[in-house]
């Protein structure tokens, strides 16, 4: 026996929190390869030769900053997208009904 249920409303803050965590975790998939590329670029750059250490340190520092900042930015974007998307869904669901889900 299957039951059809309709999702009429979603709590915006709850979905925002869930998407913030998901986006934050997914960003780690992208951040680690970028960090490794910055470290490789730092090692392969001509900086450090002829006594020029500043560009090498700047490249390494940028990589470290990115590995810390990007998950926070992605989580914030996920939260905002979740809240705005849920608000739009709730408005549209009032007009035409919610999503129908069939359970068995």
Residue 96's pLDDT band, with cuts at 50, 70 and 90, is: very high
pLDDT in the model for residue 51: 54
Percent of the chain with pLDDT over 70: 81
User: Nearest 10 degrees: CA dihedral of 68, 36, 59, 78?
Assistant: -30
Residue in the block written with tokens 């709850």: 14
How far does Cα 103 stand from its chain's mean position?
31
pTM of the model: 0.72
pLDDT digits (tens, 9 = 90+) for 38-87: 777 766 765 555 555 555 666 667 777 778 888 999 999 999 999 999 99
Domain assignments of the chain as residue spans, ordered by start = 3-103
Tell me the H-state helices in the chain. Answer: 12-44, 54-96
């Amino acid at each position: 026996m299957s039951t059809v249920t309709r999702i009429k409303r979603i709590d915006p803050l709850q979905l925002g929190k869930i998407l913030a965590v998901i986006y934050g975790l997914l960003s780690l998939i992208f951040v680690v390869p970028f960090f490794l590329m910055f470290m490789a670029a730092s090692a392969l750059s001509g900086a450090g030769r002829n006594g020029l250490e500043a560009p090498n340190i700047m490249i390494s520092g940028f990589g470290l900053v990115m590995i810390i900042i990007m998950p926070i930015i992605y989580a914030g974007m996920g939260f905002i997208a979740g809240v705005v998307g849920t608000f739009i869904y709730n408005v549209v669901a009032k007009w035409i009904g919610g999503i129908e889900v069939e359970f068995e």
